[in-house]
Structure 1
């Protein structure tokens, strides 16, 4: 059996490879072969971060990158990264970055400001 660090590293690679799919802790637990409770304890012990928080933060980080590098409509990003709705993405994004996604895009990528509504220029 792999040691804990190797196990968590391989799990992180799997999470990152599948980050665009809807991902719940139950799904990750099934992949890992551990109960979700044990997996969360292992993950926290090795990383100092909660598994659900890691997944959410990673998705939001990738969304933030896409907001400034693409003109992809917010609803498409929400669906791409497994959020239930544009509103749930907006709430999570605002909580992490203290800005709603549209304002984040406008602030950090002014040439995309015209595209924030998802329409054409």
Structure 2
């Protein structure tokens, strides 16, 4: 399925601009003008991963940058990026980066997977 490059780039720009709010696939689909099912198929074909995985990974990348560059509490960062709790954020962060948010902040690791 062919997807125009400009379409996806503008859609991802919108996603990035709305990353600090609860972002559901339905919201992205509404913005795109496609059904959520069709959009997910298009996105997976274009990006090689699901839209949900992209959003989750992007939120974790932004949270990691906040951990490194701010003194905001981990709880506040987890809420900022839409996690249900600090425990949920810590578990998801650990699965992705093999370290806890607190350990990441203390060590100041530069490179994450």
Tell me, yes or no, whether TM beats 0.5.
yes
Segments of structure 2 that go 5 or more residues without pairing to the other structure are none
1:84 aligned counterpart, secondary structure: coil
Displacement after TM superposition at 1:4 (Å): 2.5
SS of 2:71's equivalent?
A: coil
1:75 corresponds to which residue? Answer: 75
* Gap regions ≥5 residues in structure 1: 110-121
TM-score where L is the length of structure 1: 0.83
Report runs of 4+ in structure 1 exceeding 6 Å deviation: none
TM-score w.r.t. length of structure 2? 0.89
Asked if residue 33 in structure 1 is aligned to residue 28 in structure 2, the reply is no
Confirm or deny that 1:94 pairs with 2:70: no
How big is the alpha-carbon RMSD for the aligned residues of Structure 1 and Structure 2?
1.2
> Within 2, Cα distance between the matches of 1:47 and 1:4?
12
Residue 7 of structure 1 and its aligned partner are, at CA, apart by: 1.3
Q: 1:64 — aligned with what? A: 64
